[in-house]
Amino acid sequence: MTKLQVLRQSDCRCLIGVATSTRGVVCKKFPGGKGTVFSRGSVSSAECNSFEDLRDITSSLKPNQCIVMGVPVGSRVGDIKYIGSKRDLRQNEITRSKNNFVQSGFILVDYDYSGVFPCTRAADVHAYMCKLLPDVFKDAGYLAVKSSSSRVLKNQEPIKDGISWHLYYRVDAPKQVKWLADNIIVRARELDMNYYKRSKDNRQLERTVIDLQPLKIGGCGIVYEADPIVEGGYTLIPKRTQIIKGGFAKTSVLKPVSKGVGVKRKETKKDNHEGFWKKSRSLHYSDAYRRLSPADRDVLDDLCMQYKGRDHGTERNPIKCPYTHFIVHPSRVRKALVVLQEAGFIRYISNQNKRSPNLYYLNFEMLFMTPPAGWTPWN
């Protein structure tokens, strides 16, 4: 049976994955607040035809279990597939990757409390979704549950500001969910409903009302809905799920985002501020940059546009990669080379006496500064 035949047969609307870790607890534990990442175990395909079924499944999860927003390709109700890691894949195991899973008939809308878009109720989150994509979410029913950390109290006081929510929607076209995140962020830019914040690994990400990552991951994404483990002075509010009746989220109306639209952003006055990086939202020039001649600035612009690094640095230094390299034609920098070296913007140049392409290593700490007042704040 081919993957296409499986999709046509079940359409993944009645199945959802329940993952069981063989490496112990995966839910959050307090004190500490951190959970274990699911890396090895099994995924069983459970029947899930309604929000009531989904509520029963999430309410019965054990500390070593989580749900998967899809099922392994070819799965039927009750089937079990074993999951392993890419580095240590054993016999009869598959990796938890997109090519091994198909999207369930449910999607997760993950709202993390933000002062930019404060939502005290699940209905507030739903209202934002209807504003972003009314054709998709208007009149759609959903199941809402508070995220696990929102239910934890320390000395009878909440441990975090605001409430975070998980909203589950049923979709009429699971195969078109892959376009949902791109459509949301494009619409958010049009409505000026996007902003930037630091991720847990200290990267600067473009965000909107919800966290788009679960939608981007799709059918192989996991959600930790089991009750957290609390000890000491921590207590747990009982889980309450709220079901709002309605129809399907109409993902059938979604279309792929045109090539290039996903990286475009409406220009603002902040982009034209003298001396700040105009080609990237995450880099901002230091005062020393402004003292360079226009020709030298052009050289630095050309170098920086060839940035190949992955380390996004710290809040103090948005980019901190002293050994990141840039490949630029020598004629492009010959006239300004001495000036840039003396100014300290270039740490050193490799292959100076060879015919092979030169690699220019920049001094990021001198070149860039923290965002100026009035720039979109990092949360």
pLDDT tens, 23-45?
A: 889 999 998 888 888 989 999 99
* CA distance linking residue 100 with residue 3, whole number of Å: 10
Residue type at 369?
M
Q: Which of 69-83, 109-123, 159-173, 189-203 has the lowest mean pLDDT?
A: 189-203
What percentage of the chain carries pLDDT values higher than 90?
Answer: 50
Cβ partners under 8 Å of residue 266, min gap 6: 189, 190, 192
What was the pLDDT predicted at 327? Answer: 60
pLDDT at 320 over 80: no
Indicate whether 152 pLDDT > 90. yes
Higher local confidence (pLDDT), 337 or 232 = 232
More confident residue, 295 or 165: 165
| pLDDT band of 313, cuts 50, 70, 90 | very low
DSSP code of 42? Answer: E
61-79 average pLDDT score:
95
Give Cα 125 to chain centroid, integer Å: 18
Give the closest residue to 308 by CA, choosing from 374, 361, 251, 366: 361
> Of 127-131, 206-210, 365-369, where does mean pLDDT reach its minimum?
365-369
**Residue listed under structure tokens 């534990």:** 29
pLDDT the model gives residue 355:
66
- pLDDT value at residue 324: 46
Greater confidence, 206 or 167? Answer: 167
User: In degrees rounded to 5, what are phi and psi of residue 51?
Assistant: -65, -30
Is the pLDDT at 372 greater than 70, yes or no? no
Domain ranges of the chain: 3-253, 267-367
Residue 114's nearest CA partner among 22, 188, 216, 47 is 188
The beta strand positions in 8-116, using DSSP E, are 15-21, 29-30, 41-47, 65-68, 70-72, 80-84, 93-95, 101-103, 106-111
Handedness of CA 34, 39, 42, 48 (dihedral sign): positive
Token pair listed for 242: 């709220």
Whether this prediction's pTM lies above 0.75 is answered by no
pLDDT digits (tens, 9 = 90+) for 96-120: 999 999 999 999 999 999 888 999 9
Contact 131, 191 (CB under 8 A): yes
Question: Token digits for 4?
Answer: 């296409």
CB environment 173-195: b (16+ within 10 A), e (fewer): bbbbbbbbbbbbbbbbbeeebbb
For residue 188, give both structure tokens. Answer: 């958010």
Question: What is the mean pLDDT of the segment spanning 147-159?
Answer: 90
As a three-state string, the secondary structure of 273-295 is CCCCCCCCCCCCECHHHHCCCHH
pLDDT in tens, 221-279: 999 999 999 998 899 999 999 999 999 999 999 999 875 444 444 444 443 333 333 33
Place of tokens 């109409």: 250
| DSSP string over 96-153 | SSGGGEEE-SEEEEEE---SSS--SSHHHHHHHHHHH-HHHHTTB-EEEEE-GGGGEE
Question: φ and ψ at 150, to 5 degrees?
Answer: -75, -15
Question: With 50 as the cut, is the pLDDT of residue 282 above it?
Answer: no
Distance of alpha carbon 328 from alpha carbon 303, whole angstroms: 7
Distance CA 77, CA 14 (A): 9
Instruction: Give me the count of residues in the chain.
Output: 379
